[in-house]
């Protein structure tokens, strides 16, 4: 009798475990992201019907994710980390590959979740630099590497950091159709940013067949980005892609940008020049007054 009770309790306990995801803290999640190759995280909260629905769909494919990816599949409740990856509230599903997040933006469907994660096992967004930009994109020639959608960012830009998971999701949606990349405006891509007159970040530019289209829509969601690259760019103002700058032209542009971003430099320069002119004129007048006058005979 006791044995039957124990077996029954074991079955009940196993069923409870199978009906929900493992809950981890923010600290535990950070350790998983740092040390594990693949981590699937559901950001959820209590008394949330959409959260429960998404969790149930994720539970259906948990074993497949573990078998095919050796992934950790967990959830965090009322996490402070959510705002790093999603502009909305719970629920949110984020897929970490080697620590790089991808925000799931598909239907609440177990098969679509599984296919999306398996098909995007590696980070998709390309990192372009001054040395590689023109070679890889061939933006000014409009040659054979296809269309490119590029985000200009900087490491000190909070909004840029929060866009990382969404930008990976954009790349997943546009896969096999548009190359999605990013350029660091302040470091490895400073010259490229000057070439395209990128002053503020984040900024997004779509390159197609020797033309460029700036994304100036105030919506930073995955669907809006993807729609722009697929078709909506036709409604934006078109610009001809400028050819790569010579070192002298780039230096001139860098000086012009510095004056534009720091108008106090121009004011200080004007004041300095004015002081020099005044001192020079005063010095000449003083020397002239000190020259002895010749006496008349």
Going by C-beta distance under 8 Å and a sequence separation of 6 or more, which residues neighbour residue 134? Answer: 140, 244
What distance in Å separates the CA atoms of residue 175 and residue 215, rounded to the nearest whole number? 19
Res 279: pLDDT: 64
Backbone angles phi, psi at 93, to 5 degrees: -115, 120
> Residue 197 — left, alpha, or beta (φ > 0 → left; ψ -120 to 50 → alpha)?
left
User: Would you say 259 and 269 are in contact if contact means Cβ atoms under 8 Å apart?
Assistant: no
Query: Angle 56-60-65 (CA atoms, 0-180°, nearest 5)?
Result: 120
* Pairing mode of beta strands 148-153, 72-77: unpaired
Q: What radius of gyration do the chain's Cα atoms show?
A: 29
User: Would you say 138 and 147 are in contact if contact means Cβ atoms under 8 Å apart?
Assistant: no
Please check the confidence at residue 250 and state whether its pLDDT lies above 60: no
Q: Higher confidence at residue 12 or residue 67?
A: 67
In CATH, the number for domain 126-248 is 3.40.30.10
pLDDT in tens, 200-214: 999 999 999 999 999
pLDDT in tens, 128-147: 999 999 999 999 987 778 99
pLDDT bin (cut points 50, 70, 90) of residue 292 is low
Q: Say whether 64 sits in a helix, a strand or coil.
A: helix
Res 81: pLDDT: 97
User: Would you say 40 and 92 are in contact if contact means Cβ atoms under 8 Å apart?
Assistant: no
Q: What is the DSSP letter of 297?
A: -
Res 144: pLDDT: 73
Asked whether this chain's domains 17-119 and 126-248 adopt the same fold, the reply is yes
CATH class for the domain made up of 17-119? alpha beta
Res 48: pLDDT: 96
Backbone angles phi, psi at 124, to 5 degrees: -105, -35
Q: Which two tokens stand for residue 2?
A: 């006791």
**The 72-77 sheet, strands edge to edge:** 22-23, 72-77, 38-44, 92-97, 100-103
Question: If we measure between CA atoms, which residue out of 217, 60, 215, 95 comes closest to residue 152?
Answer: 215
The length of the chain, given as a count of residues: 297
Q: Say whether 229 sits in a helix, a strand or coil.
A: helix
> Residue 190 — left, alpha, or beta (φ > 0 → left; ψ -120 to 50 → alpha)?
alpha
Going by C-beta distance under 8 Å and a sequence separation of 6 or more, which residues neighbour residue 117? Answer: 40, 65, 69, 71, 95, 104
Q: Say whether 152 sits in a helix, a strand or coil.
A: strand
User: Would you say 139 and 211 are in contact if contact means Cβ atoms under 8 Å apart?
Assistant: no
Please check the confidence at residue 266 and state whether its pLDDT lies above 80: no
Read off the pTM: 0.80
In the chain, where the domains are located: 17-119, 126-248
User: Quick count: other Cβ atoms within 10 Å of Cβ 205?
Assistant: 20
């Amino acid at each position: 009798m006791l044995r039957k009770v124990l077996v029954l309790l074991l079955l009940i306990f196993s069923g409870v475990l199978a009906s929900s995801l493992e809950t981890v803290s923010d600290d535990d999640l950070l350790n998983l992201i740092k040390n594990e190759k693949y981590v699937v995280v559901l950001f959820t909260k209590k008394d949330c019907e959409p959260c429960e629905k998404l969790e149930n769909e994720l539970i259906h494919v948990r074993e497949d994710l573990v078998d095919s990816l050796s992934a950790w599949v967990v959830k965090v409740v009322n996490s402070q980390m959510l705002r790093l990856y999603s502009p909305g509230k719970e629920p949110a599903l984020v897929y970490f590959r080697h620590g790089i997040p991808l925000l799931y933006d598909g239907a609440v469907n177990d098969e679509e979740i599984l296919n999306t994660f398996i098909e995007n096992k590696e980070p998709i967004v390309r990192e372009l630099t001054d040395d590689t930009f023109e070679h890889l994109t061939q933006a000014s020639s409009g040659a054979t590497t296809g269309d490119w959608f590029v985000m200009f960012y900087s490491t000190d830009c909070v909004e840029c950091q929060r866009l990382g998971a969404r930008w990976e999701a954009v790349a997943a949606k546009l896969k096999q159709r548009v190359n999605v990349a990013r350029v660091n405006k302040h470091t490895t891509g400073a010259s490229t940013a000057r070439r395209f007159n990128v002053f503020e970040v984040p900024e997004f530019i779509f390159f197609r067949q020797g033309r460029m289209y700036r994304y100036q829509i105030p919506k930073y969601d995955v669907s809006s980005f993807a729609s722009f690259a697929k078709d909506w760019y036709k409604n934006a103002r078109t610009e001809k892609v400028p050819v790569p700058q010579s070192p002298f032209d780039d230096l001139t542009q860098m000086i012009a940008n510095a004056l534009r971003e720091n108008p106090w430099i121009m004011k200080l320069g004007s004041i300095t020049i004015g002081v020099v002119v005044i001192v020079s004129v005063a010095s000449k007048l003083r020397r002239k007054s000190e020259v002895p006058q010749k006496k008349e005979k």
